Structure 1
Amino acid sequence: MTRSRTVEWQDPGISAAAVGQESGLDFLRSVLSGRLPAAPIAATLGFTLEQVEFGRAVFVLEPGEQHYNPIGSVHGGVYATLLDSAAGCAVQSVLPAGTGYTSLDLSVKFLRPVTVDTGKVRAVGSVLSQGRRTALAEAHLLDSEERLLAHATSSCMLFPVPASQ
């Protein structure tokens, strides 16, 4: 039986142009409030930024069949995307205006399977260490009972973002 899903997103250039123009926390609060568009990958996979504070970011996803691999559980790439988003945005939340970041690496440990029966999952990212050029963050993927489904660590490179003209 065929299933389908339609995905819509906003222009990612709008948010990209705003990076570094204010603090990373203010930028993420603008995404959370809807003043700036969320990343298209969030629409593609169906996850949302639920909470952000200094050094912490939380994304949520309701797993669906569209996230499945051929063996009937959520694909590891979905886990990794959620964890990368949470860890990266936790780093972004501590950056001053004029600074951007990019992920250098992501190490993921898959601990439990996720299916549609798991229900909503949360990826909680937090900053472990921040220097002038790099930051280290971790993220946990949790079910509604706070069971750990997966864990990740991420190193991020920090760099200056030129002011917009």
Structure 2
Amino acid sequence: MGRIRTYEWDDPAITAAAVGRASGLEFLREVRAGRLPAAPVAATLDFTLDEVDEGRAEFSFTPGEEHYNPIGSVHGGVYATLLDSAAGCAVQSTLPVGMGYTSLDLTVKFLKRITADTGRVRAIGTVVSRGRQTALAEARLIDTEERLLAHATSSCMLFPMPAD
């Protein structure tokens, strides 16, 4: 018997239009508070932005079988999405008004298998280095016992947002 999962998301153009109008930290705090819609991918994978501070962002999610690959564990793309979100938002949290970023790369190391039995996991991103044009961030995916499940590094390009 097939399983069904339904979910909703808000218009991503609302949030995209707000990027650069406030500092990156203020922007992310608005998303965290629900005053700006979260990215649709957060609804697709069912993860949340739980904490954000200058140079740090934390997401969490509870794995389910809807996240599985054909061998019965969470797909590596789910790990990568969580780690990319945490690293990227850590960088975004350091940006002043009028600046944006995009990921240039993401290197992921998968260390432990995740299944629905793993329970809630957290992706914690921190900025390692930030210059005028690029930033380097890392992210760790950990379980409730603080065991490292995966690690990632990401380089991001920083740029001024176009004026209206």
Question: Deviation at 1:163?
Answer: 3.3
Q: For residues 117-153 of structure 1, what are the alpha-carbon distances to aligned partners after superposition, in whole Å with 9 as ceiling and x for unaligned?
A: 0000000000000001000000000000000000000
In structure 1, the partner of 2:144 is 144
Determine the C-alpha separation between the residues in 2 that align with 1:92 and 1:100.
Answer: 7
In structure 2, the partner of 1:48 is 48
In structure 2, the partner of 1:81 is 81
Does the 8 A contact of 1:10 with 1:37 survive in 2? yes
Question: Deviation at 1:102?
Answer: 0.3
In structure 2, the partner of 1:96 is 96
Does the 8 A contact of 1:72 with 1:115 survive in 2? yes
Does the 8 A contact of 1:92 with 1:100 survive in 2? yes
Residues 1-165 of structure 1: pairs in structure 2 closer than 5 A: 1-164=1-164
Letter of the structure 1 residue corresponding to residue 150 of structure 2? A
Letter of the structure 2 residue corresponding to residue 92 of structure 1? Q
Determine the C-alpha separation between the residues in 1 that align with 2:2 and 2:9.
Answer: 23
Determine the C-alpha separation between the residues in 2 that align with 1:107 and 1:162.
Answer: 29
Q: Secondary structure of the equivalent of 1:162?
A: coil
Question: Deviation at 1:7?
Answer: 1.6
Structure 1 regions of 5+ residues with no counterpart?
Answer: none
Letter of the structure 2 residue corresponding to residue 57 of structure 1? A
Structure 2 regions of 5+ residues with no counterpart?
Answer: none
RMSD: 0.5
Determine the C-alpha separation between the residues in 2 that align with 1:140 and 1:50.
Answer: 15
Question: Deviation at 1:162?
Answer: 2.3
The normalised TM-score by structure 2 is 0.99
Does the 8 A contact of 1:74 with 1:115 survive in 2? yes
The normalised TM-score by structure 1 is 0.98
- Aligned identity (percent) is 74
